[in-house]
Copies of this chain bind each other. A is one copy, B any other.
Amino acid sequence: MTTTSHHAIRESLLSRIQSGEWELGGLIPAETALAEEYGCARTTVNRALRTLAEQGLVVRKRKGGTRIRQNPVRQARFNIPIVREQVEATGAAYRFELLANTPKIPPKIISTRFQNADRDLVHYMETLHFAGDTPFAFETRWLNLAGVDDFMNAPIKTMSINEWLVKSVPFSRGDVSFSAVNADRKTSAALGVENAQALFLIDRTTWQNDTVITTTKTFYSPAFKLNAQL
């Protein structure tokens, strides 16, 4: 161990964990002990261990020490795709069509989510995204105009509402869920696939300060896969 760096120490600790030097679920030496062993400052060991903890391989507690996780948490991390970038990554030209863009009385599940009275109007949009001339994804969106300034001036003809929102209401919280659904009649028609075709669905709700800004369902055309590394 000639180079002492938090990175090298992290790798070293990782392989020692893998080799079984310490029991699964067991304690590993304290930071001070490891610092002495590696001949570096405690800060450096701390950083290495903190990284391992973020990755879910160890659990750290004050006074309790650092333990190896019983069932190592396999965390995957990936970027929630922006449709335009996904399309352009394939080399195809991106464009979209706005199929709906109007206030509408939402189903109950939506009005609840928006904390609205049942009969209040909510802005509703449907967007069809293309890769070249092939439909790539079909998106339905409920949008809380009260949470979004300037919507009337948004360039929704030229920029997808999605991207405009990202730029205008940045850095909000959100929930996402992934699932599989059989295409209904409207969606299969939009995407040009058979009825009941299995589609990958991303359902997101975006918040800002406890106010729902928007909730969307994006149905991807059949070839779509979402990839991540463990």
Contacts and interface: CB of A to CB of B under 8 A. Distances in A.
A170 B72 contact: yes
A21 to B, nearest CB: 12
A17 B167 CA distance: 12
A79 interface: yes
Interface stretch (A27-35, A59-67, A110-118, A179-187): A179-187
Contact of A18 (B71, B170, B197): B170
Interface string A54-92: 001100000000000001111111111010010000000
Nearest to A167: B24
A93 interface: no
B80 A78 contact: no
A32 to B, nearest CB: 20
B57 A230 contact: no
A73 B81 CA distance: 8
A178 B225 contact: yes
Contact of A200 (B163, B179, B206): B179
Given A175-B227, A178-B200, A179-B225, 18 more contacts: A17-B170, A18-B171, A24-B170, A71-B85, A72-B170, A75-B78, A76-B78, A80-B230, A173-B229, A175-B229, A176-B230, A177-B225, A178-B228, A180-B199, A180-B200, A180-B224, A181-B198, A182-B196
6 contacts: A18-B171, A74-B174, A75-B77, A177-B228, A198-B198, A206-B230
